[in-house]
Amino acid sequence: MSGSGRLGPRAATLGISLALTAGLAGCSWPDVSMSPDLGGDSASSADPAEPAAERTAAEPTAATTAAVVAGVPETPARPAGDLDSGSVTRVLAAGAQTVVIDYWTTDDATTWTATGDKTIQLASHVEGGDGETEVLVTRFVVTADDGTTRTVAVEDRGEFALMPPFSYSTAFTVPESAASADAVTLYVQFDLLVETEPGSSRYYRQTVLDTLELPLLQEVSQ
C-alpha cells in the first residue's frame, strides 16, 4: 500500500458536501415578504386615494346643484300698476261731453300690500259740450275686487254739480284684501243726470265707468 496520502473517491465526495453545507449555513436570503420595494409601493399607492375621496365629497355635482336651486321658489315679478307713478288721468265719454278724472296718492303704490293702508284721492270735472248744460253727479261708488271678495270702498249719493266751474272731489281708503291676493281691481262708477238742453230742467241718466289695477306685494309671514 502506498503512503502518498491520496484520498479515495468517497472521501472527496464527502468533503465537497460538507463544504457546501457550511457555505449555505453562512449565507442569508432576503425576506421577500418584507421587501422594502413592495411594501413602499403598496403604501404610496393608497395615499393618493384619500384626497380624491375628500374632493368628491366636498364638490357638489351638477345634479345636486340643480336640485338645490329647484327647491327655492321664485318670487313672481310684480306687474306695473295704474298708480305706480303716483297719479293717473282718465278721459271718458259722457254723451256730448267728456268726464275727466284725476286719481292720485301720496303713498308709494309700488309697496302696497293686501292688509296695508291704501288711500286714493280723485277729482273729476266735465269738458266739452256747450258749457251751459247742467250735469249732476247723483251717485259715486268704488268697488274693490281682490279675486276673492268684492267690497264697496266708498259710496256717495246726492246731486253734485259737475259742469264748469264745478268739480267733484273725494278721497277713500281701499279696504283690506285677502292675504293671498296679489292684486286688487277698483271699479269706479259715476251716475250722472245730464240736462237735455240748457234751462229745460229735464234730464237723462248717463253712467260713466272706469277701472284701476293695483298690484299687491306678498307679505312675508313672521
pLDDT confidence of residue 20: 45
Look at residue 70 and tell me if it is in a domain.
no
Look at residue 12 and tell me if it is in a domain.
no
Look at residue 68 and tell me if it is in a domain.
no
Look at residue 44 and tell me if it is in a domain.
no
Q: Give whole-number Cα distances, 71 to 30, 61, 66, 75, 173, in Å.
A: 64, 16, 9, 13, 39
Instruction: Give the C-alpha separation, 36 to 79, whole Å.
Output: 75
Structure-block grid coordinates of residue 108: 308709494
pLDDT confidence of residue 58: 53
pLDDT confidence of residue 95: 85
pLDDT confidence of residue 81: 97
Look at residue 194 and tell me if it is in a domain.
yes
Residue numbers of the chain with a pLDDT score lower than 70: 1-75, 220-222
Look at residue 20 and tell me if it is in a domain.
no
Q: Is 70 exposed, middle or buried (0-12, 13-18, 19+ CB in 10 A)?
A: exposed
pLDDT confidence of residue 137: 98
pLDDT confidence of residue 126: 96
Look at residue 140 and tell me if it is in a domain.
yes
Instruction: Give the model confidence (pLDDT) of 3-55 as tens digits.
Output: 444 545 554 444 444 444 444 444 454 454 444 454 445 444 445 555 555 55
CATH number of the domain residue 188 falls in: 2.60.40.1470
Domain count along the chain: 1
pLDDT confidence of residue 88: 99
- Other Cβ atoms less than 10 A from the Cβ of 8: the count is 7
Q: Which domain holds residue 177?
A: 87-215
Look at residue 207 and tell me if it is in a domain.
yes
pTM above 0.85, yes or no: no
